[in-house]
Structure 1
Amino acid sequence: MEFGLVLQTDPPAAGVVALMRRAERLGFSHGWTFDSVVLWQEPFVIHSQILAATERLVVGPMVTNPGTRAWEVTASTFATLNEMFGNRTICGIGRGDSAQRVAGRRPHGLASLGRAIDAIRDLAEGREAVVDGTPLRLGWVRDGRLPVWMAAYGPKALALAGRSADGFILQLADVDVTEWMVRAVRKAAADAGRDPARITVCVAAPGYVTADDSPAALAHAREQCRWFGGMVGNHVADLVARYGTDPALVPPELTAYVEGRRGYDYTHHGRADNPEVAFVPDGIVDRFCLIGPPAAHVAKLRRLRAAGVDQFALYAMHDARESVVEEYGAHVIPAFARP
């Protein structure tokens, strides 16, 4: 199993770069950032500095979307970074939640997302793509490579990921839900004539390492990670609105807790102090996140690996982000090192 670090691009940008550099030294293979330019700083500018400050780290957004930038701009940005730093970028992409909604726009439909996946990858790798009816090609690209991993929850999105993406990003660490969704993605890949085993599976969620498993330590960890249940609740609410509560279409583990959800203010998006997540019960925090001493993280990650997960991307948005990154480097990542 590989490990990624996910950060928001809060100023100062130098702090993001420094923590990514430290993560590489501690054994993380990927550095991810949020991509909502109204809420945080422009990520691709910071990606260039992360790549310059590291040697092996693969860097990209978790996740971009088809609407914030023109597709040829997104592709050219990736291709330029790859030319400068040697094919060390990766494109995480989704319909657009915070980036679109905070600007008063709706997330993109899956048809548009599917076309964007193909066009961005083709352009960044030097092939021709049709964008808005016009054939385009970045003629200066040589030997470009851009894996595109798609974030998805619902059945149609999971099917698109299986048909079109190089990887699947699931933003929660519930083992049962992970198994359900990995099966759906791999079935879609097989139905499309693709090798399901070639689709990389990435689970992304907060991790909070405690000194022990005392009630006080776990309670503090839950409060620092409860925001994540609110963020995931946005996606679950979309699923329930579209598909209802049919367990064949939406895992029942996802639907029950959003009944108490009452709106969402994106100015608090991804923040540990989000005041609008009281509806998220402790049980959901425990299921969706990783909390407890290092041994508890290792045990849950082993279950996720058995469910088909290839990478765990650690969200570090809480009051202990530096120490948790250090704990993962010292005690969690070594447990998954190849002999």
Structure 2
Amino acid sequence: MRTGIVTAAGPGAERLAVRAEELGFDSFWVYDTPMLHGDPFVTLALCAKATHHIRLGIGVTSPALRSAPAAAAAIGSLNALAPGRIVCGVGTGNTARRTLGMRPTKTAELESFTAALRDLTAGRETDYREGTRSSRVRFLHAGSYGDARPYGDARPYGDTGRYVDARPYVDTESPVEFVVAAFGPKSAAVAGRLGAGLISFGMHDPAAWSALDRARRAEARDADGAEKPRSYLMTSLHVLADGEDRYGDPAKDATGHIALSALILAAETPAFRAALPPDEAAAVDRLLRLRGTTPTDPRFHQALYRNYLGRLAPEDRDLIVPSLVDRFGLVGTRGELAARISDLEKAGVDELIIQPVVDPDAGMAEFAGLLA
């Protein structure tokens, strides 16, 4: 099982990326949620300059956030800084849209946007539309950095006496890995049709992963001889000490940000809330009271997503009931965690990515040691 780290985008993330590389992690990711965190492309640019071989991931962008040309330019620019090390996750914008008080985009838009990104970042043409007007677009100054001069070197341009930079702005020759955010078969099918990988969040059921993998393979095209796209699980983890309470404050603090995100989704989604067991549904009610809001409040989204995916506030600990710890966190002894991770790997998860929120340095070291 490969391993990675995810964190909020912002200044200082590059230090964590360097430490993750030193500890032997395969990837380092940042979230793309504009109303919550910093810009992922700026952050990963810093990470690209500070690291040497760790893969750098965007988890995840969305057609609701940027146009395909703008997103492709950002991805291609990162690829120029860290050739062949960029992983781009794309989703319907569940969190990013909801923090704006909007709904996620449609699966069809997810597919067309991801296809456009894939083509543009590989130097190919794609369709670009605005309303009823459409055109074919591609990067007009692109290439790889292979034998190019260092940035800032200039050479004469013809016989004009003027000088131009010899280095391309974006890299379209080094491969970019694309993964589609999926919780169900529709998005997994998109990944299959595009030859992309999968990424999901807080989903620990091996049977669910097996179903996603089947949905992807059912739609895969020209798969013979091709390398199987990777599957990534973003989650949280806590290794129990001898005699430690599985549902105590340390476990809640390490994993509660993922569990709380499930309660927030339930507060936003009546169908999801209706399927919750009674203790979790009651926790949703308590969450709304703590936030001082209701679903009819026009600023509902501002209150609900405050400190989203940040370290759990002490007053929120009582919201994390035992069933949430069991379902949305990886909590257990070293032996228990090794068995759960093995089951996930057998179900198709290739890389496990955690967000250490309490003490990132200690959390990364603990995770690195767990699977060493």
Task: Give the RMSD, CA atoms, in angstroms.
Answer: 2.7
Give distance in 2, aligned partners of 1:179 and 1:166.
21
| Cα deviations by residue, 1:258-278 (Å, 9 ceiling, x for unpaired) | 644345711221123255675
Confirm or deny that 1:48 pairs with 2:54.
no
Q: Which residue of 2 aligns with 1:321?
A: 360
Q: Of 59, 62, 68, which residue of structure 2 is paired with 1:62? A: 59
Residue 240 of structure 1: CA displacement?
6.7
| Paired residues for 1:1-339 under 5 Å | 1-10=1-10, 13-14=11-12, 16-132=13-129, 133-142=134-143, 143-174=173-204, 177-193=205-221, 195=223, 198-215=228-245, 218-234=248-264, 241=271, 255-256=276-277, 259-260=281-282, 261-262=284-285, 265-273=304-312, 278-317=318-357, 319-329=358-368, 331-334=369-372
- Residue type at the aligned position of 1:51: A
- Report runs of 4+ in structure 1 exceeding 6 Å deviation: 236-240
- Residue type at the aligned position of 1:200: R
- Residue type at the aligned position of 2:176: L
Give distance in 2, aligned partners of 1:240 and 1:206.
25
| Cα deviations by residue, 1:190-249 (Å, 9 ceiling, x for unpaired) | 34445397131111101123433422785421243223123134556777739x86xxxx
- Residue type at the aligned position of 1:74: A
Counting aligned pairs with the same residue, the percent is 25
- Residue type at the aligned position of 1:137: R
Give distance in 1, aligned partners of 2:192 and 2:67.
24
- Residue type at the aligned position of 1:289: G
- Residue type at the aligned position of 1:64: T
Q: TM-score, normalised by structure 2?
A: 0.77
Give distance in 1, aligned partners of 2:310 and 2:15.
21
- Residue type at the aligned position of 2:2: E
Residue 371 of structure 2: SS of its match in structure 1? Answer: helix
By percentage of residues, which structure has more helix? Answer: 1
Residue 293 of structure 1: CA displacement?
4.2
| Structure 1, unpaired ranges of 5+ | 246-254, 335-339
| Structure 2, unpaired ranges of 5+ | 144-172, 289-300
Q: TM-score, normalised by structure 1?
A: 0.84
- Residue type at the aligned position of 2:237: G
Residue 125 of structure 1: CA displacement?
1.0
Residue 43 of structure 2: SS of its match in structure 1? Answer: helix
Residue 286 of structure 1: SS of its match in structure 2? Answer: helix
Give distance in 1, aligned partners of 2:124 and 2:174.
10
Give distance in 2, aligned partners of 1:108 and 1:165.
21
In our comparison, the structure showing a higher alpha carbon Rg is 2
Give distance in 2, aligned partners of 1:212 and 1:138.
57
